[in-house]
Amino acid sequence: MAASEKIAVLTGAGISTESGIPDFRGPNGVWTTRPEAMKLVNIEDYVRDPQVRIQAWQERMRHPAWTAKPNEGHRALVELERRGTLLALMTQNIDRLHQAAGSQKVIELHGTIWLAKCLSCGRRTRMQEQLERVTAGDPDPVCTECGGIQKSATVAFGEQLDPLVLETAVVASSACDLFLAIGTSLSVQPAALLAAEAHRRGARLVIVNQGETPLDDRADVILRAPIGVVLPVIIPGSKSDSEDQSPPGAAPAT
């Protein structure tokens, strides 16, 4: 980490579970405990069935992102950016906890729940604005410009990723000298592709994840400990200055 000058970071649900946001496929994941919730994130069902949309708006009202706070893992990555060695912070998360922690170079691969978008004209509005309409009694608020169906500005199953966002992520992954995959099972695209591309281009691959990933055999280092514990240790300077970072036997700094 200390020797790397161009670090690309990819984070998944695992970094936010420590902030109280459940993941999807884990033992306590949203889709594990409530498989029916998966239907709410399929674009075909969403467009076809008003009941799915009404339920989806209710889910958005209750989403833990509105009250969640960033944790030590998010904060450690801010330090990486401050040091100037961060090429890009790519995330599969839609909760904006990286930004809440202070990160600026965030690439939101799967969009954000903090914005709503119209599926017809593409107009984006603040999610809170739309949720206020739901609270006021409109169970499925349509676009005020064109009357189109609206949803969160996140990438549902069956939707395309923003091509510009994907391009930026691919460029960063190709150019990095270290690829840090955090809290992601690397089982969906483009996550797996980005990590594989970085490895193919000669970058070191470090995986911090509780479970196994399909790229484990290509990783230089795999860390299975909790993210909020691991990141402050492996990112130099992200712990407070009073804590001694020197390895045993190291010469004191002069």
Active site residues: 110
How many whole angstroms separate alpha carbon 80 and alpha carbon 49? 44
Q: Which residues bind Zn ion (CB under 5 A)?
A: 118, 120-121, 123, 143, 145-146, 148
State residue 61 phi and psi, 5-degree precision: -55, -40
The conformation of residue 10, written as its DSSP 8-state character, comes to: E
Q: How far is the CB of 212 from Zn ion (least distance, A)?
A: 43
Q: How far is the CB of 150 from Zn ion (least distance, A)?
A: 7
Which CB atom, from 19 or from 152, has the smaller least distance to Zn ion?
152
The C-alpha R_g of the chain, in whole angstroms, comes to 20
- In sequence order, what are the beta bridge partners of 157? 42
**Per residue in 74-85, is it b (16+ CB within 10 Å) or e — as a string?**
bbbbbbbbebeb
Q: How far is the CB of 120 from Zn ion (least distance, A)?
A: 5
Whole-angstrom CA distances from 126 to 131, 220, 238 are 9, 41, 33
Q: How far is the CB of 115 from Zn ion (least distance, A)?
A: 14
